[in-house]
Structure 1
Amino acid sequence: MTVRIDQTGCIGSGQCVLAAPEVFDQSDDDGLGIVLIAEPSADLLPGVRDAVDRCPAQVVTLEE
């Protein structure tokens, strides 16, 4: 499973970081979301799925 953030549509709301701080962070430069772990382990997937659902710009994806 692979996690991605479409940087062109990210608005930097930080909802992904709140949902799964082990997997996501925000750039110090522009505040946009970044993926720390592109292929998270199974125990992190509930948080990643929550991040996908929470993203107001709908740019966080999980390819299963």
Structure 2
Amino acid sequence: MRIEIDRSRCRGAGQCALHAPELFDQSEEDGMVVVLDDQPPPELLERARLAERLCPNSVIRVLDDEQSRGGPAG
């Protein structure tokens, strides 16, 4: 799994940091998303997916292992 973000679209809502603090934080400078671990262990997949779903600006993208390697999405 790999986490990608589009920081340019982030508006600092903080849902990611609230629901998955082991994966996300917010910058003290501008409140924008900060990824703490872009390749987290599999046991954090559901937390990453929750943050992805809850992001109001669709900034977060969670890629499975196949997508992370550039293979076909399945």
TM-score bucket (shorter structure): over 0.9
Distance 1:10 1:30 in 2: 10
Q: Which has the larger radius of gyration?
A: 2
Corresponding position of 1:48: 48
Q: Which has the higher helix share?
A: 2
Corresponding position of 2:21: 21
Corresponding position of 1:2: 2
| Stretches (4+) displaced over 3 A | none
Instruction: Indicate the percent of aligned positions where both proteins have the same amino acid.
Output: 44
TM-score, L = length of structure 1: 0.95
Distance 2:19 2:4 in 1: 15
Q: 2:30 matched to 1:34?
A: no
Aligned-residue Cα RMSD (Å) equals 0.7
TM-score, L = length of structure 2: 0.83
Distance 1:59 1:35 in 2: 11
Q: Which amino acid aligns with 1:7?
A: R
Structure of higher RCO (CA pairs closer than 8 Å, 6+ residues apart): 1
Q: Could you say what secondary structure the match of 1:34 adopts? A: strand
